[in-house]
Structure 1
Amino acid sequence: MTIDKELTKVNPAAYAPYRNPREYITSWTDKIWIARGLGHIHDHYSPDVKVHTAYGETYGMDNVISNSLQKMVAFPNRGGGHDDVVWEKRGDDGFISSHRVLNNATHTGHWTYGPPTGKDWVNRSVAHCLVKDNLVVEEWVIRDEFAVLEHLGLDPYKVAADLAKKSPVLGTTINRENSSITALDSIDNVLARGISGPRPDIGRAECETVLALFDRVWNQKFFDEVPEHCADNIVCQTVRMRRVMGINPYQMETMELLSFIPDGKLEVKDICVHDSEDLGLRVATIWLLKGTYSGSPVYGPTNNAPINILGSSHFEFRNGKIIREWRIYDEIAILAQILRNDSVNNN
């Protein structure tokens, strides 16, 4: 499918002095994190930026700089590969950028998880940034933190128990009623408008394929319909650096995720499409899966804890079908919600 370039054209002032939104995102990310130009955050973030995570949300540039400084000290050799930037126009003066990164680092400084272990870790993350007038005004960040703890040899249950009492971002108790992940607005028609604002009508066929996959397969449990949406050699790369290939393994990966939250319902909160000569057409999503921990005891004994999973999936298309999915969510945040429920009920 050919996308109307006029509908995708972004005002160059929104990403100046870079050549395009992709270069805008990757260049300043390297400038801040690789060259350690932390002060450049002032050049690229709005003073009142809002940052959403699986644990809560922060407001203002001071929090961004403080959290970034601490992370740089804990992981001074932190590198990362820019897996992809899926971007799409938002209004006359901005764009949404879904930046998928393969991170790696060595734990040589103090961090939320404790003193240095000296061990290496690798994970994937997505930074879904809304850029207006050349500044990031809102960001949704999703990280595979379980992979980090696994590589560092730390107990994820102990870390999650600590987070259940106090969020590392906010320093306050996780509150399901008021947290950012439950307060995300209900979306009437994500093809027209998501949490990042109104979007152009592009890539409709591919977007509808993604939405049908989430609705029919994830929500309605028609796992036999996966071949209708995905190529026979579908590859899914997901949390803890797992990789599966083929229809049957893809079905099982999805079923296993849903098995511990069998009443879960997923809603796509944002969607964007980009088609490029080098990578083809990709669809990026932010989604929220809500239900109760009432199925398979994947994370210990089930306790009917309310669970909210903030996730992101990037889909790559070929010949009208999904050939790759990158699926990222935070299992430590899931554990924290389960353990917090036990703590509340035992008090």
Structure 2
Amino acid sequence: MRGFDAKWRDVPHFIIGITREIWEDREIASLTHRYREGLIVRSPASVVVGNDRIIAATMATLAEFPDRELLGEDVIWCEDPARTTAVTEAYLSSHRLVCTATHSSPGMYGAPTGRRATYRILADCAIRDDHVYDEWLVRDQSAIVRQFGFDVVDWTRDLIAREGGPERCVQPMTPAGDVAGPYDGRGNENEWGARYAGIISRIMAADFAVIPAEYDRAASLFYPGGQDGLGWSGADQFWMGLRAAFPDATFTVEHVIGRDDPLMPPRAAVRWSLHGKHSGWGRFGIPTGAEVYVMGMSHAEFGPFGEGGAPSVRREWTLIDETAIWKQILLKTGAVQ
């Protein structure tokens, strides 16, 4: 890896390594090098700009969850030819993690419950010159909230109050509140990324027949709220519930990576969005008409057991932040009391 410390073998080793370095080895100060000054971290909950704010948020999380571990399941990555030079290489990585943590101290999640949570994070990082210079991240907040014993809507309403009320609370990410960053790539042209982006696009176009056509009948599925699904019915239930809640929202594929690697199945990472009115009955209950932005990230692995022996989605991971969606609904409907 030209332009990177020699201790990193490859992109997955770099991403998994710096994650452990920062969070578990407590080298939080290394963020001043690992993250470029002025880095933008976009999550459904907020847009954070600058190392100072990122370091502060990291310390606050570790104060609340001192035993937090981040276990890297996979890194799906691609080259970034536009920023690769004779002396340095550039990449985009999509990192999937399983996190474990005990709610030991007061913080964002309220008074300590003493409960332990297991949840996933998906994070896209643009990297070059031995540091991350742009980032997108989705954390399964509703899985955490439920495991601590809270109702997701009630917890979100309480969060708004604890942050100072509707006028002062942290605003969820929307296109209007986004900050343009230096990475403007779209991924790569690998066939598996294109195939998976096409599947999600067909689902979002209400072509749910794509699920039995393109998913393994025994597919393992991992969805928001820590919910696991199985097979065609599990995929249909999740995607139908999401799209039904926002039937007129604009769907956009933001970034696509496909990869073939030794000892790994073909796999893909897709970052996508929905933007429009909460105008339908579905995953988010009674339609409110609130304008909502959904930032979604999905990973998939392909296997050989599709209809007629065709490749099919064998495992799928999709994350959205349901608390950020509910926050937008509550703020825009005024249902914050």
- Aligned residue for 1:323? 314
Q: Percent identity?
A: 25
1:54 maps to which residue? 44
SS of residue in 1 equivalent to 2:108: coil
Alignment CA distance shift 1:248-1:184 (3 Å) = farther
User: Where does residue 8 of structure 1 map in the other structure?
Assistant: none
Structure 2 regions of 5+ residues with no counterpart?
A: 305-310
* 1:149 matched to 2:149: no
- Judged with a 3 Å threshold, the aligned counterparts in structure 2 of structure 1 residues 230 and 335 are, in CA distance, closer, same or farther, namely same
User: 1:198/1:127 Cα in 2 relative to 1: closer, same or farther (>3 Å)?
Assistant: closer
User: Shift of residue 125 of structure 1?
Assistant: 0.7
- Is 1:137 aligned with 2:130? no
Distance across 1 between alignment mates of 2:9 and 2:164 = 38
1:258 aligns with 2:249: no
Could you tell me how far apart the structure 1 residues matched to 2:222 and 2:210 are? 20
Structure 1 Cα separation of the partners of residues 321 and 187 of structure 2: 27
Partner residue, 2:76: 86
Using the TM superposition, name which of 273-282 and 158-167 deviates more: 158-167
TM-score by length of 2: 0.87
Match of 1:248 among 205, 229, 233: 233
Q: Gapped runs of 5+ residues in structure 1? A: 1-10, 186-193
Q: How many residues align?
A: 322
Matches within 5 A, 1:1-347: 11-14=1-4, 16-91=6-81, 92=84, 93-164=89-160, 166=163, 172-174=170-172, 176=174, 178-180=176-178, 196-197=184-185, 199-201=187-189, 203=190, 205-218=191-204, 220-296=205-281, 298-319=283-304, 320-343=311-334
Task: Give the TM-score, by structure 1 length.
Answer: 0.85
Q: Deviations over 1:43-100 (max 9, x none)?
A: 3111111111112311111011000000001000001321111111113121111111
State how far apart, in whole Å, the 2-side matches of 1:117 and 1:229 are.
42
| SS of the residue 1:69 aligns to | helix
Is the 8 Å Cα contact of residues 103 and 124 (structure 1) preserved in structure 2? yes
Cα separation, 1, equivalents of 2:147 and 2:207: 35
**Could you report, residue by residue, the CA deviation over 1:5-41 in whole angstroms, capped at 9, with x for unpaired residues?**
xxxxxx4324643101101111111111112121121
Opposite residue 26 of structure 1, the aligned amino acid is I
C-alpha separation between the residues in 1 aligned to 2:316 and 2:25?
31
Q: What is the alpha-carbon distance in structure 1 between the residues aligned to residue 148 and residue 291 of structure 2?
A: 29
Q: CA RMSD in A?
A: 2.6
**What residue identity is the alignment partner of 1:110?**
P
For the 8 Å contact 1:293–1:303, the answer to whether it is kept is yes
Give 1:164 deviation, angstroms. 4.9
